[in-house]
Amino acid sequence: MSAGRIDLALVEAFVLVMKSGSLTKAESLSGVSKATLSRQLTRLEELLGAQLLLRSSRRIAPTEAGRAFFARCEGLLGEVSGRLETARTEVQELTGGVSGRLTLLSDTQFSTSFVCHVVQIFLESHPNVRCQLDVANGLQAPQIGEVDCYVGSAPPDLPDLVAKLLGRLAYGLYASPQYLARHGTPQTPEALAQHRMIAMREPSGPPSPLRLVSQQASGRHVVRTEPAFETNDHWVMKTFCIDGLGIAPLPVFFAGPEVAQGVLVPVLPQWPPEARRLYCAYQRQRYMGQKLRAFVDLMARCVADIGSYNHYVGSTAAVSSSASSARRARSAARP
């Protein structure tokens, strides 16, 4: 089977063609051109690694695999449609009564890589809300007790605060193709010690050891390296990684767009870093308000579908520009 996520639009195109019996009728019903529908069907077959339809100049007939897939897809699309309608109703009900100011505090690991995306979605659904988002270790950041909600990897141990586990974020190791071409691709966790690592600096001290979990057997491996680069922000880590400066542990959803573009490559996918817990904490009395309840509920749902919320992609053009700038800087530094 080919690698890649199946877009729901491909499934919709397949079900439409199956129900209509031909590309011509499907085009008439949907307004989508036959050429586009044909490309979508071909792409779906590539992703599934199976032929779904037998095509001729006169008709289209399903294969055995096509009939089996169609039986599953009809129910799937019905369920998705029902859930979307339920979500739409919930949003409409919430929008009618949600307004005012929402104050948020997030640790540096999740502020730009997750919380910003959730805030964007929330404000689109609740235009009468005004939001303030601060980073926890900023010099002018407010205290946790002064905000509506705190988001981080560990719940603060403070009285009158309720900590809710939103979920766990999957992590992976990534490097640029340029870095791997120069330094080789590590094949074992032990080999990471010979590579330049980009590490997340913890607020309370130096970077923690890299804890890897085997996906093929029940095994764990702790990697202790001297990082070549340290930072307290995932965007800086990803930028360093794209620029070919080393191997970085990043949230899978956060690196996903660059992997799809070929700008980053997974390293040791069978040994990913441990997933990280994601908590939100709030004062019990604040949670009584509809505004905060709506935001916390949205965060919990977004963790489950987090891969679809990251739209900012580092491009190969940006990498080339960065590399050119670095070469010019090195040339200027030579005597």
For residue 63, give Cα distances in angstroms to 7, 18, 35, 44, 334. 21, 11, 21, 14, 66
- Portion of the chain with pLDDT greater than 70, in percent: 79
Q: Each residue of 293-303: pLDDT tens digit?
A: 889 888 888 88
- Lowest mean pLDDT of 130-139, 229-238, 252-261, name the range: 130-139
Contact (Cβ atoms closer than 8 angstroms) between residue 296 and residue 128: no
* Span 3-48, pLDDT tens digits: 567 888 899 889 888 888 888 888 887 888 989 999 999 999 999 9
Q: What pLDDT is stored for residue 96 in this prediction?
A: 52
Q: Is the pTM of this model over 0.85?
A: no
Residues in a beta bridge with 279: 152, 165
The predicted pLDDT at position 198 comes to: 94
**Strongest mean pLDDT among 53-57, 92-96, 302-306:** 53-57
